[in-house]
Structure 1
Amino acid sequence: MPTLEAIETKIRRLQEQAEAMRAKKASATLDRIVALMKESGVTVADIEAHIGGKKRGVKAGKKTAAGAATVAAKYMDPKTGATWSGRGRAPAWISSAKNRDRFLVDGNGTTASVATGSKANRPGNYRRGPQPAKYRDPESGATWSGRGPAPAWLANAKDRTKFLIEAGA
């Protein structure tokens, strides 16, 4: 029965043989490439220009070994710490969020604090979703928020102020 040292020695020898075979194959490939370049008159500068011309669209970030650009994280999940650059398909933890501002990451890699109300103060930005009632019909008790078409009990009224709900009430 072979010993552990004998098996390790055999493994090292086989790895050296595999490396020598790889080097021999690479050398043969390089010799073929050089021969083809000489035959067709292609220079290394031509190859670099050709490869350099194919790199389009990568302006920011570093390139990985696969050739894709890495981009700094723009959003972070506060629960898991997972990040997303804002490019490509949105991950599940942010895809259903109506307002992604709470997931924004500042330059230090921490969740940025977003000033509330700064966006709402600009003209044209309205609060979405259900609104508090502004008008109430004294007879039926029905209410209306002031958004959308006015109900029949209010649409025909000449003076809507008598239907207003007081702020304190």
Structure 2
Amino acid sequence: MARCKELLAEKEQLEKLIAEAREQEAASALEKIRATVAEFEFTPEDVFGNPRKKTRRAAAAKYRHPETGETWSGRGRAPRWLKDQDLERFRITE
């Protein structure tokens, strides 16, 4: 039982040393980060991005009206010129 208590005491001591080392390394890293941000005049959006702003890519056109050249990606409400039509007839095959 004495051996177990010694090991637990050693474990506590090591955990304290680990916490102190982590704290010192984190402080050093944060100092470097702040210096870099100041040097290059980064904004929070530069560093972290803007989570509220989601960018969408435009979907590629899948269907084309042969007479007008109007296109539709297949997303959202279908255009009038496709109403009651066979989609395959208008599919872009390029």
TM-score range, shorter chain: 0.3 to 0.5
TM-score, reference length from structure 1: 0.28
TM-score, reference length from structure 2: 0.47
Q: Which has the larger radius of gyration?
A: 1
